[in-house]
Chains A and B, each alone.
Chain A
């Protein structure tokens, strides 16, 4: 049996051709521009490019999408540093220290450090992905209908919990709504058309891409055109290549943020933004100079950027092993893989044994391209930030429309996109997260088919849902996730911790 690194090298060599390199560089560049421009997110970029690359050879299409993903998450730090506006939600934490650095005239150094930290984060994440996916894949082979049903519910609950930290109820509502949206149209067991009301187009259900482009893209376009124009970019960039000592001195933050990013990424539906904030928070707590955080701390910037990029690899782990996306952009990547004939999930290791290594090789190429472009074309990229929103947003709208239409060549999909754009806009304004909705659309079919299939297998006996070991673990996790947000639980926990603490404290006599 060949070793993993050798297989990755083999795949890397297979991919090294001029045409692949050409696609890698232009798509990473486009991804970085998408990430840089406030209002355009990595999710939206991948969704748009899924439509654009639909007619391409599957391997080429996936490599382009991975490059856009990596490029967008890396590129988002540009506007965070220069404008104090995160290019993507993942780069929000980078604003806190990146912008003060730019104000001090150290914008170039901040961009260089952010790019290098992003590169290290991506590489760390992809190696974790290559190592853990086969392991999780083996465990996933023990998953059956009962477990898959609970996994879908767990995904929705934890995603709702983490993407709506102030009000998880809204996250769960969005998730349940997403599950219901996915169940419109013909179902897989009896071919009955649910909620189609006699419309032929509705019988096919709502495709993921139009829903996703609507919720993220159209909502963004409407929001972007409603709000006032952007402030001016700080033009002074300065030195870009980072100093080695800046990285070596902060190796602990890099390692810690890498691990946090991978773990957060592997949790279904929880994306790069959460990874970045958690990494930032941990870095601040462990820093010797926490007072510098928020005032231009290199530690904060490095932690945030390493965390969000390490999340990419982490988010792909459940995509490949369980067919459950770790983040919103990973959800689109999952859909794109399906569109191109790859079936991620427990059977991936049997059907496409080399696919994990292939994806790892693609990510290595994407991370290198991203680093080179980041460090080489900073000044050129900064100029793109000057494009006015009224010029940019209608172009994005046109791309959203054509991207949604190209998947099935149906005008109906354009209307689906439009309606979900309005829903997405309303959700955003009323504090409902979009990620659980998208995750729900992806996991809906899994929950539906597996629940009914499990009941058929046990002739209607529901006890298996609660007695199988993995199911039981998932149920406990779901309950814990839900009650962990209640006041009663929090009060009980703090009381319990205080009591236990008292037991171990030395008594004064």
Chain B
């Protein structure tokens, strides 16, 4: 029987092995007699054990994916092109990019409600949720609402 996640599991397994090896090395490098505490109270003790556990699971995941039947492990150019040209991927990429830019602009010189209004309106218009005028009005109302509730009601300084 074909296993749906064969390729994903293989690469995820390799990443997990890499991360766990890094965790184990870093744990080993942590001080072992800090403030005269014995080695078994060292800060890297538990992280090292968890890293080892993760390493074992990563190895099992990788070997299991190799043994199972399913998609070939190597990527082909056509697969990558098909993924990139998929409208769903484009929507995801666009949302991701807009949200990333929004986060980058937070905490800078522009006031919070301005950045938020622009972000909301841009997403609503780009994804054709509603008309531009409606989108602008809703965005402005939401941004001002959030700003007032957090800043005035809960006394949280806005980003």
Contact = CB atoms under 8 A, between A and B. Distances in A.
A431 B9 CA distance: 10
B149 interface: yes
Nearest to A460: B40
Interface in B97-118: 99-100, 102-103, 106-107, 116
B46 interface: yes
A73 to B, nearest CB: 25
Contact of B40 (A54, A173, A187, A455): A455
A398 B127 CA distance: 16
B155 to A, nearest CB: 6
29 contacts: A54-B154, A55-B154, A55-B156, A172-B57, A180-B54, A195-B47, A222-B95, A222-B96, A225-B127, A226-B88, A226-B91, A388-B130, A389-B129, A390-B124, A390-B127, A394-B124, A395-B142, A397-B99, A401-B159, A406-B150, A406-B154, A409-B157, A411-B106, A418-B99, A429-B8, A430-B5, A452-B40, A459-B38, A460-B38
A190 B43 contact: yes
B154 A177 contact: no
A54 B156 CA distance: 9
Nearest to A228: B88
Contacts, number: 159
Given A226-B95, A409-B157, A456 B41 contact: yes
B138 interface: yes
Contacts of A406: 150, 154, 156
B156 A391 contact: no
Contacts of A183: 46-47, 50
A183 B47 CA distance: 7
Contacts of A399: 146
Nearest to B54: A176
Task: Give the contact-size bracket for chain B.
Answer: 35 or more
A195 B34 CA distance: 16
Contacts of A177: 54
Interface in A390-413: 390-391, 393-395, 397-399, 401-402, 405-406, 409, 411
Contact of B47 (A53, A194, A227): A194
A451 B63 CA distance: 31
Interface of B: 5, 8-9, 12, 16, 23, 26, 30-31, 34-35, 37-47, 50-51, 53-54, 57-58, 60-61, 64, 88-89, 91-92, 95-96, 99-100, 102-103, 106-107, 116, 119-120, 123-124, 127-130, 135, 138, 142-143, 146, 149-150, 153-159
Contacts of B50: 176, 179-180, 183
A393 B99 CA distance: 11
A192 B5 contact: no
Interface of B is mostly: helix
Contacts of B142: 395, 398
A120 interface: no
A498 to B, nearest CB: 26
A225 B157 CA distance: 30
Most-contacted residue by chain A among B95, B142, B149 (CB, 10 A): B95
Interface of A: 52-56, 169-170, 172-173, 176-177, 179-180, 183, 187, 189-190, 192, 194-195, 218, 221-222, 225-228, 388-391, 393-395, 397-399, 401-402, 405-406, 409, 411, 414-415, 418, 429-431, 447-448, 451-452, 455-456, 459-460
Contacts of B128: 390
Q: Which 7 residue pairs spanning A and B have beta carbons closest together? A: A390-B129, A390-B127, A55-B154, A394-B123, A226-B92, A225-B95, A192-B43
A173 B54 contact: yes
A395 B127 contact: no
